Structure 1
Amino acid sequence: MLDSTVTIAGETQSRVALADVSVELLRQLWAQYGPLMFHQSGGCCDGSSPMCYPQGDFITSDRDVRLGTFEIGTPGAPQPIDFWMSAEQFEYWSHTHLTVDVVKGRGSGFSVEAPEGVRFLIRSRLMDSARPFD
């Protein structure tokens, strides 16, 4: 499991992590597409699945929250991946820790893992009770 760095001001614990299988897949996808990013919208059309895009293909705004950044590279060869969520979805999931996992099946046609016959999936759990919330 790989926890993201903390990117929300005033917080001290990661809100999102990658399962080991996700890290492996993301390294393959990075080699194929270059820098990547995630966005979780909460809308229709696979809204419950995190979408992985080439960095910059999805434009974020002030209505999006960067939950964390993953470093999947090696020393000397950084490969940072930001994980964004719509502010509306973040309000709904503010008390959860998210883990990005990979399962077999057809993903969204918009997410770069779709041609691989797998899809990213969010698994969630309540944040630790000692963790300060908004």
Structure 2
Amino acid sequence: MIPRVLATPAAEALIERLRSLHGPLMFHQSGGCCDGSAPMCYQAGEFRTGAQDVLMGEIAGCAFYMGAAQFEYWRHTQLIIDVVKGRGSGFSLEAPEGLRFLTRSRLFTDDEARALEAEGLPAAD
């Protein structure tokens, strides 16, 4: 199985730090402007997902959801969740850390795209 979402070692380290402070976590990335287009980290269950959210996979043991409209735009790419210095959204748990999560991406190869097509689309929540 080819992961649709991965985390860099820096992101994994921040996730572990946040998990030690807040307990189980989840991520959501919508298609909104500004903060909405960034990966947002919440305590598990704090953000209510619905039929318009796609479960992309997990990073560092945390579910990662994306809005369905945003998924249609990104479906041909692997998301790579990273961390950079700066202030993220006030709603995302990393905001007080002086860091923010950032989505990088790469296009799937033709072979990966065919394999993903055979697996089918990720489940909507």
Report the TM range for the smaller structure's normalisation. Answer: 0.7 to 0.9
In structure 2, stretches of 5+ residues that fail to align are none
List, as ranges, runs of 4+ consecutive aligned residues in structure 1 with deviation greater than 4 Å: none
Identity of aligned residues (%): 55
Query: Is 1:90 the equivalent of 2:71?
Result: yes
CA offsets, 1:33-61, max 9 Å, x none?
A: 00000000011241221000000110001
The 1-side partners of 2:106 and 2:34 are apart by: 23
Between structures 1 and 2, the one with greater helix share: 2
The 2-side partners of 1:123 and 1:48 are apart by: 12
The higher relative CO (CA closer than 8 Å, separation ≥ 6) is in: 2
In structure 1, stretches of 5+ residues that fail to align are 1-11, 73-79
User: 2:31 is paired with a residue of what secondary structure?
Assistant: coil
Alignment of 1:17-96 (within 5 A): 17-70=6-59, 72=60, 80-96=61-77
CA offsets, 1:63-98, max 9 Å, x none?
A: 11000023x3xxxxxxx2000000110001110101
User: 2:37 is paired with a residue of what secondary structure?
Assistant: coil
Partner of 2:93: 112
TM-score (norm 1): 0.82
Q: How many residues are aligned here?
A: 115
Q: CA RMSD in A?
A: 1.1
TM-score (norm 2): 0.88
